Amino acid sequence: MPKLPGVSQKDAVRVFQKLGFRIARESAHIVMSNGAIRLTIPRHNPVNALTMGALAKDAGLTPEEFRKLL
């Protein structure tokens, strides 16, 4: 899986909001949805690199595309 080290959960939420995802629920994790895809972002700073890479992949992004949106 691709790695995206050093990404805070707030930055991740901001990137996914640019892609049309909206916050559906907040608790120990932030759940975001665009109607078809649901992403669960842990509230860690920074988010684990492997986890962040998997979230970007689930959203249909490559690591390079994700970095450009930061």
- pLDDT confidence band for 17 (50 / 70 / 90): very high
29: nearest Cα among 61, 5, 55, 53: 55
Averaged pLDDT score across all residues of the chain: 91
Q: Is pLDDT of 3 > 90?
A: no
Q: What is each CA distance from 64 to 4, 25, 45, 67, in whole angstroms?
A: 9, 28, 21, 5
User: CATH fold of 9-69, please?
Assistant: Metal Transport, Frataxin; Chain A (3.30.920)
Q: Is pLDDT of 35 > 70?
A: yes
Return the residue matching tokens 């901001």: 14
Show me where the domains of the chain are located.
Answer: 9-69
In this prediction the pTM is 0.88
Q: Which comes out higher in pLDDT, residue 2 or 68?
A: 68
